[in-house]
Amino acid sequence: MKLLRFGAKGAEKPGLLHEDGTIRDLSGVIDDLAGESLHPDGLAKIAATDAGSLPVVDGDPRLGPPIAGTGKFICIGLNYSDHAAETGATVPPEPIIFMKATSAICGPNDPIVIPRGSKKTDWEVELAVVIGKPAKYVSEDQAMDHVAGFAITNDVSERAFQAERQGQWTKGKSCDNFGQIGPWLVTPDEVADPQDLPMWLTVNGEAMQNGTSATMVYGVRFLVSYLSQFMTLHPGDVISTGTPPGVGLGMSPQRFLKEGDVVELGIKGLGQQRQDVISDA
């Protein structure tokens, strides 16, 4: 299934993408794509619904983030061997973990907002893993039992805030509209192998990133298991798993976003996003 949320910011309704290409309204079946609805039993309930009988959503509504109630937005740094190489970093012996504020979360086509004082706002196409069932001390063999699905994220990053302003990376990762998620939450039955997904990103139509999740250092199963050793993962939690090469930071000369740019990105089978770049002047 391809699950989504549509409508004005803060007033989104749950829906799904029907096989005929229409958006169908799920609000008569579930309250939202959050909590118990993301549990395997909740997803089974949605799957058992006759999608063709659900109301068609007219027009071209705004898409919000495809899940609600995210308590943790966990990111993995330097998790692609080729991305680590382009930034001159060494692949870490264990995953680098940092948090992105949940207030950064927005819809897949909502704008990238360059924050005040920014000189180095950058892009990062990433595969997101969404938790559906609480996970604590789970093994790699059990990990996928706790995954509700996959989505695209743009882990927008302000590199000067991240690396030149002291402290942890969080301040460069958490600005408003620095966490586009969607367009859909794609359930695991539609993703044959999360470690074999081509992904891409362009700026103003120019190819910047063209990679694959095959070059991930630490894969999805490992990450879910690893993180669950340190904290309980709850339904709606998002794990953004790292980015392939082609970010502005790694270019020579470096290149960063400016007002008026257009960023487009996608992952095979998970859809694509489009964002106008605006300034928080």
Which domain CATH number covers 269?
A: 3.90.850.10
**What global pTM score does this model have?**
0.95
Segments of the chain with pLDDT less than 50? none
As a whole number of angstroms, the distance between CA 1 and CA 140 comes to 24
* Same domain flag for 46 and 104: no
* Same domain flag for 74 and 86: yes
As a whole number of angstroms, the distance between CA 238 and CA 241 comes to 9
Bridge partners, 234 (sequence order):
none
* Same domain flag for 100 and 55: no
Sign of the C-alpha dihedral, residues 1, 58, 265, 171? negative
* Same domain flag for 77 and 186: yes
* Same domain flag for 70 and 159: yes
Q: Is 235 helix (H, G, I), strand (E, B) or coil?
A: coil
Q: What are 93's two structure tokens?
A: 């012996």
* Same domain flag for 94 and 140: yes
- Provide the mean pLDDT of the chain: 95
Query: For 121-259, where are the alpha helices, taking DSSP H only?
Result: 159-163, 170-173, 220-228
Q: What are 190's two structure tokens?
A: 């539609």
Query: For 10-74, where are the alpha helices, taking DSSP H only?
Result: 40-47
- In this predicted structure, what is the pLDDT of residue 163? 79
- In this predicted structure, what is the pLDDT of residue 208? 98
Q: How many domains does the chain fold into?
A: 2
* Same domain flag for 57 and 95: no
* Same domain flag for 15 and 46: yes
Residue span of the structural domain in which 8 resides: 2-63
* Same domain flag for 19 and 70: no
Amino acid at 258: K
